[in-house]
Amino acid sequence: MTGEQSSILEQLDAAVPLARFDAFPKLPSSYKARSESRGFFTLFVALIAILLVLNDVGEYIWGWPDYEFSIDTQGQTFMKVNVDMVVNMPCQYLSVDLRDVVGDRLFLSKAFRRDGTRFDIGQATTLKEHAQALSARQAIAQSRNSRGLFSWFHRAEPEFRPTYNYETDGSACRIYGSLLTKKVTANLHVTTLGHGYNSPIHVGHDKMNLSHVITEFSFGPYFPDIAQPLDYSFEIAREPFMAYQYFMHVVPTTYIVPRSPPLETNQYSVTHYTRKLEHFQGTPGIFFKFDLDPMVITIHQRTTSLVQFIIR
**CA-closest candidate to residue 285, choices 89, 80, 81:** 89
Q: Terminal CA-to-CA distance of the chain, rounded, Å? A: 59
Q: What is the pTM of this model?
A: 0.68
Cα–Cα distances (Å) from 270 to 64, 135, 187, 227, in that order, read 26, 15, 14, 12
The whole-angstrom separation of Cα 194 and Cα 93 is 9
From first to last of the 312 residues of the chain, give the pLDDT tens digit: 555 555 666 666 666 565 555 666 666 666 556 666 667 788 888 899 898 888 888 777 777 777 788 787 766 788 889 999 999 999 999 989 898 888 777 878 778 899 999 888 875 655 555 455 544 444 444 444 434 433 443 344 456 788 878 888 889 999 999 888 888 899 999 999 888 676 777 888 888 999 999 988 999 887 656 678 888 888 999 888 899 999 999 988 888 777 678 888 888 989 999 999 887 778 899 999 999 888 888 888 777 777 877 887
Alpha-carbon distance of 167 to 181, in angstroms, equals 30
* Cα–Cα dist 2/40, whole Å: 50
Half-sphere exposure (Cβ direction) of 132: Cα atoms closer than 13 Å: 5
How far apart, in Å, are the Cα atoms of 143 and each of 122, 187, 231, 248, 269?
A: 22, 29, 14, 22, 18
